[in-house]
Amino acid sequence: MIDSIKQVNFLDLAVILVYLLMLTGVGIYLTRFNKTVDDFFKGGGKIPWWISGLSTFVAGFSAFMFVGAAGFTYKHGAGAAVLFTSAFWGYGLGYLLYAVRWRRARLGSPMEFLTRRFSQGTTYYYTLLSVVPSIMGLGLGIYILCIFVASAMGIMSVTVDLGLMTLTGLEVSMIVTGLVMLIYTSAGGLWAVVITDSLQFFIILIVSFLVFPLTFIALGDSWNLMHGFRRLIAEAPEGYLSLIDVVKNPLFYVAYMISSLIGYNAAWHIGQRYYSVPTERDARKMAILCAVLSLVLPFLWLAPTMAARVMFPDMATLWPQLTEPSEASFVTLALTLLPNGLIGLTISAILAATMTSIDTQLNYLASILVRDVYVRLRSSITGSAPGAKEQLTLGRITAFSLGILAIITAILVQRTKGVFDFALMYYSWFGPSMLTPVMLGLLYKKTPSWSAIAAATAGLVVIFIFNVLVDVNPYQYEVNIFGGVGVSALVFFLSALWKEKNPVIVDAQRAFAADLATPAVDEHLRWSGNALSSYRIVGLLTLTIGLVVVALAFVPASMAVHAITLACGGGTAFIGWLMTWYFRRQSKLVGKEEQR
């Protein structure tokens, strides 16, 4: 039942085009949601918890999950389950501690936390350290994504002569992808990000539900999934289905777990999502939703990728042009098992997974530059803050400009190693040292205003030493995580030996501590017009995607493909209809309450 690798055809291109047009159209339509700069950067604090939760969950995805993480799973087997469900523990800690604190912080932008908890100088310092690496990260995300999009579409070696310059197919795919992302992010703000993320969640889910059963049907060469599972157990390499890799490399797995606990609680986009919902109860519901999804859904692509090890034992012969051929394992399954049309949906899913990560970063980076830097500098220099309309316009311009820089970075960057290894190292250079003071600062309030700067700097210096001056291979990643977190935390707590002397900062820190002790229960925001409309929009988009998948069920393919595609499309369409029905019902209830 295993066919040869297929090429993208006009039907796939049509599906991808429909998807890109939907994203662009949603971004333009949602400009009407943004009456104030608060709407653009935090959804006015009115985003429904489940939409924000789905957005937060898929923001942790990117092409890395279908590419780099798939490559790790292909090579190491069941140990990957320990890594790629680690977000469960991160969101679980968020449910217990951090979701409530981020919501009670009552912020307008992520780095406003640094100003309120530490000092304005800390915000400037973090901005200086964050923006350039973040743009590099955005560019790398686009680059990684488009390598596989261009490969799947067969345009890697195509050249386009524009007169003044000649672009490769890879470069064209990066430019088109980046521009679509820029349009809906810079136009629609956070509302566009979370609503399109919800749509992208359902696309990723559909593709996962398609590939999972089809993989084991093909592996077992029958309709009985258990035959496929039995073959995987019988033919997998020795130790592949056990946790032997975890036992052999415990420091690596512990380091990865620590980075997950930090990243899923202290990263700026996580904080932004938590304070963009109406109440702290909503923030905790967000965290538990993300935790459950992070524990269950990864197995939908982990298991097929492990099966690919048996189905395609020599991936290098299929993808000789790739530095790390194993990272094409999930893509290979899709190109082999799915018919044309559904291949286009798979490419759209990988586009979705990366775009949702990139658009999130663009929005919060623009928020930092506008609200934490420009507004405060302008206020201190001129004595008056810019108006809300000016801030909104500047926010859109900033998001668009950052995206252009990311596209340029994607075009210029040269990949030197596998995606998984590079992504891990990239995060370990900056994340542990800079985010540890954020994570601790939300809990411990007795350090002075300069403590975050001192802690982050100390951690970065240690990481620099062990990456440039001292050779610690093959434990570079582990040293970066343990060294960055350990030194940063040590300096942070030692700084408490010095008391803050500036009375203005002391008063500000006390006010912030008072906010953290005061419940956030803005129930009146729960059913705003935008919140209600978001149900209708997400419902209509989900219904549309479901109907498209139902139509694709009639493309010539095996009975298994027809049945599973029809079930996935019909189920998605029903969920979309249910959301639109709920919108109409809730709108009537709210209307009756307002009449009273």
Confidence check: pLDDT of 42 > 60: no
Closest of 128, 127, 138 to residue 409, by C-alpha: 138
- The domain that holds 270 is classified in CATH as 1.20.1730.10
| Same domain membership, residue 448 and residue 567 | no
b/e per residue 145-175 (b: at least 16 CB within 10 A): bbbbbbbbbebbeeeeeeeeeebbbbbbbbb
| Same domain membership, residue 534 and residue 517 | no
| Same domain membership, residue 568 and residue 432 | no
Highest mean pLDDT among 92-101, 176-185, 221-230: 92-101
Note the pLDDT of residue 226: 85
pLDDT, tens digit, 9 for 90 and up, residues 185-208: 665 556 666 777 777 788 888 888
Angle of helix 120-152 relative to helix 329-337, nearest 10 degrees, comes to 40
Q: Please state the three-class secondary structure of 162-184 as a single string.
A: CCCCEEEHHHHHHHHHHHHHHHH
Note the pLDDT of residue 35: 59
Q: How many CB atoms lie within 10 A of CB 448?
A: 20
Six-digit token string for 176: 């088109």
pLDDT, tens digit, 9 for 90 and up, residues 206-234: 888 899 999 999 888 777 788 889 999 99
Note the pLDDT of residue 190: 61
Please state the rounded mean pLDDT for residues 425-451. Answer: 90
- DSSP for 289-332 reads HHHHHHHHTTHHHHHHHHHHHHH-S-GGGT-TTSSSGGGGHHHH
| Same domain membership, residue 544 and residue 396 | no
- DSSP for 111-133 reads THHHHHHT-HHHHHHHHHHHHHH
Highest mean pLDDT among 29-38, 126-135, 416-425: 126-135
Q: Which range, of 107-111, 433-437, 577-581, averages the lowest pLDDT? A: 107-111
Confidence check: pLDDT of 394 > 90: no
| Same domain membership, residue 537 and residue 482 | no
Quote the domain boundaries for residue 566.
527-596
Which of the pair, 3 or 425, is modelled with greater confidence? 425
Domain for residue 313, yes or no?
A: yes
Which of the pair, 209 or 364, is modelled with greater confidence? 209
Note the pLDDT of residue 496: 94
Confidence of residue 460 (pLDDT cuts 50, 70, 90): very high
Domain for residue 352, yes or no?
A: yes
Domain for residue 5, yes or no?
A: no
Confidence of residue 392 (pLDDT cuts 50, 70, 90): confident
| Same domain membership, residue 180 and residue 93 | yes
Note the pLDDT of residue 437: 96
- Domain end among 502, 521, 540: 521
pLDDT, tens digit, 9 for 90 and up, residues 141-150: 777 777 667 7
| Same domain membership, residue 458 and residue 591 | no
| Same domain membership, residue 556 and residue 449 | no
pLDDT, tens digit, 9 for 90 and up, residues 476-498: 889 999 999 999 999 999 999 99
Note the pLDDT of residue 186: 60
Count how many domains the chain has: 2
pTM of the model: 0.81
Domain for residue 184, yes or no?
A: yes
Confidence of residue 415 (pLDDT cuts 50, 70, 90): very low
| Same domain membership, residue 301 and residue 163 | yes
Proportion of the chain above pLDDT 90, given as a percent: 25
Contact 569, 547 (CB under 8 A): yes
Please state the rounded mean pLDDT for residues 75-100. Answer: 92
Note the pLDDT of residue 61: 65
Domain for residue 3, yes or no?
A: no
- Domain end among 470, 501, 521: 521
Q: What angle do CA 31, 37, 40 make, to 5 degrees?
A: 45
521 forms beta bridges with 279
Domain for residue 204, yes or no?
A: yes
| Same domain membership, residue 416 and residue 338 | yes
- Domain end among 455, 490, 521: 521
Confidence check: pLDDT of 170 > 60: yes
Six-digit token string for 505: 């900062």
Domain for residue 207, yes or no?
A: yes
Confidence check: pLDDT of 59 > 60: yes
| Same domain membership, residue 545 and residue 453 | no
Confidence check: pLDDT of 556 > 90: no
Confidence check: pLDDT of 333 > 50: yes
Contact 52, 363 (CB under 8 A): no
Confidence of residue 566 (pLDDT cuts 50, 70, 90): very high
pLDDT, tens digit, 9 for 90 and up, residues 506-555: 998 899 999 999 888 765 545 555 566 777 788 888 898 899 899 988 88
Closest of 494, 490, 464 to residue 479, by C-alpha: 464
Confidence check: pLDDT of 37 > 60: no
Note the pLDDT of residue 416: 45
Highest mean pLDDT among 295-299, 314-318, 319-323, 402-406: 295-299
Closest of 522, 533, 101 to residue 278, by C-alpha: 522
Domain for residue 149, yes or no?
A: yes
pLDDT, tens digit, 9 for 90 and up, residues 2-30: 557 777 788 888 888 888 787 777 767 76
Six-digit token string for 466: 């062990």
Note the pLDDT of residue 148: 66
Note the pLDDT of residue 151: 67
Note the pLDDT of residue 448: 94
Confidence check: pLDDT of 593 > 70: no
Confidence check: pLDDT of 439 > 90: yes
Cis, bond preceding 474 (omega within 30 deg of 0)? yes
| Same domain membership, residue 473 and residue 394 | yes
